[in-house]
Every structure is written in structure tokens, then in C-alpha cells.
Amino acid sequence: MPAPDARSARDGLAARQAALVAALVARAPVPEGVDAGRVRIQAAALRRKRGRSVALAAPELAAALGPGFADAFADYATGRPGRGGSAADAREFARYLLAEPEYRRRREVRRAARRVKRLG
């Protein structure tokens, strides 16, 4: 059994790591002592990487949105941590698109989102 000081240090580190992850993926405040600019840059890179995974899992959504896919996905993903992998994220993104009037009005987006949503 670790000494109380070691356990306390480990618990503190775990809390700081959790706070950093929350800042990166869920728009939580940046932890004290961490460069906020670097966190914003890394958070954007992680959203883009996640968006590429969703585009591979549901290429019809990416095709229907065309060049607007990246911005639409960033709007969806900001503040919504991914759960369950790329296919689950694609289904949630499809639900988001169907709920947003800006995207729901576009027939090709609506059709693609309904197809992806049914895959779940």
C-alpha cells in the first residue's frame, strides 16, 4: 500500500490530468499553470483529428456538407467529448445536423444524416 504522501501526490496528479483533458475536449477552464494558448491550439487539432475519423466512418456526411464539413463538425464537437468511437460520434453528429435548422434545410445533408443515424 502506498504511503499517504504518495497517494495524495498521485490523486493530485490525476485531478490535474483530468482537468487538462476536460479543457482539451469539453471546453472546461484551462488549469492553472498551463499555457491557455497551447491548450486552444491542441484542442483545435484534436477536433480536426476527430472530424477526420468521423468523415471516414460516415463519408456521406462529409460529402453532403462539402467544404463546410470542418466548420459544421467543429460547431458540433466543441464542448461535446467523443464517446464510443468514430461510428457512434458520426451518429451523434448526424442527430446534431438534423436538429440544426441551418443543416436540416439542406436536402442532401438531411438524407445523409438520416442514413447515418439509422446505422446505430
pLDDT reported for residue 35:
96
Three-state SS annotation for the chain: CCCHHHHHHHHHHHHHHHHHHHHHHCCCCCCCCCCHHHHHHHHHHHHHHHHHHHHHHCHHHHHHHHHHHHHHHHHHHCCCCCCCHHHHHHHHHHHHHHHCHHHHCCHHHHHHHHHHHHCC
Q: Which structural domain range is residue 76 located in?
A: 4-118
Domain count within the chain: 1
Higher pLDDT, 1 or 109: 109
For 59-102, write each residue's pLDDT tens digit: 999 999 999 999 999 999 987 888 899 999 999 999 999 999 99
Report pTM.
0.81
pLDDT exceeds cutoff 80 at 22: yes
pLDDT exceeds cutoff 80 at 34: yes
